């Protein structure tokens, strides 16, 4: 089974509302988590690096005020899409690297977001 869990798997929200996606490491402590976005039939695009207890580091071109990332504990990072619009509809995937897992990165199951 997956060692990183995402919730929800599917979410539909109305345009203008905010939606939160959770990423949990189930059997290890994740000091660093990563958030990716994937459009259909395309590759994964790194949005931001989430570090426990500090501010996230966003990739160039990613709006940090729109995609709020919080990594308040060693097992949980959240991505909040604020004031969502239809163009934010996508597949969002998190991944985690634990301090006791070397350089292997484990991925969550992903979350489909549809903004209507």
Contact between 46 and another protein by CB under 8 A: the answer reads yes
Please list the residues that pair with 50 across neighbouring strands.
33
The reply to whether 54 sits near another protein by the rule CB under 8 A is no
Candidate ranges 13-21, 37-45, 64-72, 78-86; the one touching another protein (CB under 8 A): 37-45
Q: Using CB atoms within 10 A of its CB, is residue 30 exposed (0-12), middle (13-18) or buried (19+)?
A: buried
Q: Cβ distance 116 to 10 under 8 Å? A: no
List residues binding another protein (CB under 8 A): 2, 32, 34, 38, 42-44, 46, 49, 57, 91, 93, 95, 97, 103-107, 109-110
């Amino acid at each position: 089974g997956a060692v990183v869990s995402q919730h929800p798997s599917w979410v539909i929200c109305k345009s203008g509302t905010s939606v939160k996606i959770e990423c949990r490491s189930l059997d290890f402590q994740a000091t660093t988590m990563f958030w990716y976005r994937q459009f259909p039939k395309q590759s994964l695009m790194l949005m931001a690096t989430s570090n426990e207890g500090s501010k996230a580091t966003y990739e160039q071109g990613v709006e940090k005020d729109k995609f709020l990332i919080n990594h308040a504990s060693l097992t949980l990072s959240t991505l909040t899409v604020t004031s969502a619009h239809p163009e934010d509809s996508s597949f969002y995937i998190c991944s985690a690297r634990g301090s006791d897992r070397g350089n292997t990165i484990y991925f969550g199951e992903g979350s489909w977001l549809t903004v209507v």
